[in-house]
Amino acid sequence: MSPHPEGDRAGMARHVARGVALYNQGRYWEAHEALEVVWRQAVPPERALWQGLIQAAAAMLHRERGNRHGLLTQGAAAIQQLRGAVPAAFPVETARFVQELQRCVEEGGPVPPMLLQSSPAAARGRGRAKGS
């Protein structure tokens, strides 16, 4: 069951879409703020995933500002959080993202885009974790 009342689901989806869009536009601080609204409402295991996405945005902000230590610290924290169990209905793709994030942080690769999940299976699997 979702931690959000039915009426809040659409509002949370808007924050998710906005956060992802801002991140992909390179507006990392604003993405961080938008995703934090969702993180505050989340429960485990999703809470750790939202925290990882927020840390990824922070890492990219540090990268943009030339702060290598911040990039490495926040990037490593994001990677650790995003490697956790991912519920089938989690709205942001994480498997590819975490691999590309690791290349970005450790090897100076390109900034990985965040992508929203759009599969019908994700919508049907709402509330179930992978492997359940």
CB-based contact 91:18 (threshold 8 Å): no
Domains, the chain, in order of start with CATH, read 6-124 (1.10.3450.10)
Q: Which residue has the higher pLDDT, 122 or 94?
A: 94
Radius of gyration of the chain (CA): 14
CA distances from 32 to 36, 87, 125 (A): 6, 21, 26
Tell me the per-residue pLDDT of 101-126, one tens digit each, with 9 for 90 and over.
999 999 999 999 999 997 544 443 43
Q: Which pLDDT score is estimated for 119? A: 54
Buried-state track 46-75, b at ≥16 Cβ within 10 A, e below 16: bbbbbbbbbbbbbbbbbbeeeeeeebebbb
Q: Is the pLDDT of residue 77 over 60?
A: yes
Residues 4-59: tens digit of each pLDDT: 444 488 889 999 999 999 999 999 999 999 999 999 999 999 999 999 999 999 99
Sign of the C-alpha dihedral computed for residues 96, 97, 102 and 108 taken in this order: positive
pTM of the model: 0.84
Cβ–Cβ < 8 Å for 76, 120: no
